[in-house]
Amino acid sequence: MDAILLLGSLFVLIAIGVPVAYALGAAALIGAFWIDIPLEAVMLKISDGISKFSLLAIPFFVLAGAIMAEGGMARRLIAFANVFVGSIRGGLALVNIFASGLFGCISGSSVADTSSIGSVMIPQMEKAGYPRVFATNVTIAGSVQAILIPPSHNAVIYALAVGGSVSIGHLLVAGFLPGVLLGSSLAILVLIISYKEGYPKSQAIPFREAVKAAVEALWGLVTMIIITGGIVGGIFTATEAAAVACVWAFLVTMFIYRDYRWRDLHLLVHRTMKTVGMVMMLIAFASSFGYIMALMQLPAHVTSFFLTVSDNKYVILFMINILLLFLGTLMDMAPLILICAPILLPVVQTFGVDPVHFGVIMLVNLGIGLITPPVGSVLFVGCAVAKLSIEQVTRKIWPFYVAMFIVLMLVTYIPAISIWLPKLIVD
């Protein structure tokens, strides 16, 4: 009854239009009142939820990504990617995916990836002879790489959601191979579609232009080395890497690229702080919600339920994937991680699943939800950039869903894809 009241009140509040963060806080208060917990305890948990040093990684990663996104980095990465894969049939589609992966290494955000890469690549692909719907689907599917390849602020949120028992550095590194696998699967798909539909091929890039594109992109690519190389090399923590990357992104954008105007900088910081404020509020209220869940022993009840259904690890993982795929169509990624991770992690740990491995499973799974209606935020952004309706885009997106589902199954049932690299270079 306790769990029904807690989760029921949450979903009712969301259904009537209450923002998710406020719904989490209000549901926690209702649950605390029901089990006779002092409301002051809930307030303390709200403040405790954002009183963590590791949380500083989120605003730094978001700000670094925003600076590079609006400072001309996307255009330079596209030119750099075009050097390698632009001259084959379907090459511009490959450039789109490759550039999304590179930009994801800097932004850590699928929404930023879609808006930055899409605003350049969708018109360019259409001009070259690709259907606009296809260009849009390539863009939004490719942008999911950003939540896997370091630096992913959703990985930081997962680490916090499970009580900080998982290393943020391990999680960031763990997403690298799944991100590469996702990008490779999408590349194979767009090549098949391009050859089948007879999409055009681009001209080879002259050597002088190729060198120029590589030199211009190099400054931004150093940001990737700072973030990943610094963490892997043990030079600094994930939080420190985010801060250094933020400073480097600022210096490159304002003093080397010089595509961004100083008078617009305060507007960029303002937009970033609004985003960070929403994320922090969500984390704070989710902390109180998780506290009430723990008092009600909800994770233990869920574990018992799954054990009554099956004692086979692979069946349980498949059921959890189906559940998360469904929930991902109804709610955004960050709140789902904060709600579901503390509930489902004890379930999979009963079967010996590594917490880092399960974190990557959640990221891949809920990443699919970002491009799935009715609440796919990346899908909405892609449609807005391309000036297409959701119906037009989703009618042709199913091959991309198939490719991403195959990657999800591989990541789920082959743990080494996620945990081999962290154990090799971080431990």
Q: What is the residue-level pLDDT of the chain in tens, covering all 427 positions?
A: 677 788 888 888 888 888 888 888 898 898 888 888 888 888 888 888 777 777 787 888 888 777 877 777 777 877 787 777 656 788 888 888 988 888 877 777 888 788 878 888 888 888 888 899 999 999 999 999 989 988 788 888 898 888 777 888 888 889 999 999 999 999 999 999 988 888 877 766 777 877 888 888 888 778 777 777 777 677 777 788 888 888 888 888 888 888 788 888 888 888 888 878 888 888 888 888 888 888 887 777 777 788 788 888 999 999 999 989 988 887 788 888 888 888 899 889 988 999 999 999 999 999 998 898 877 888 888 888 888 888 888 888 999 999 999 999 999 999 999 999 888 875 5
Helices 176-197 and 398-413 meet at what angle, rounded to 10? Answer: 150
Place of tokens 């190729």: 210
The pTM of this model reads 0.84
Distance of alpha carbon 20 from alpha carbon 375, whole angstroms? 13
Tell me which residue range forms the domain holding 146. Answer: 2-426
Q: Which residues contact 120 (CB under 8 A, 6 or more apart)?
A: 74, 75, 78
Instruction: Please count the structural domains in the chain.
Output: 1
Pick from 242, 347, 370: nearest CA to 299: 347
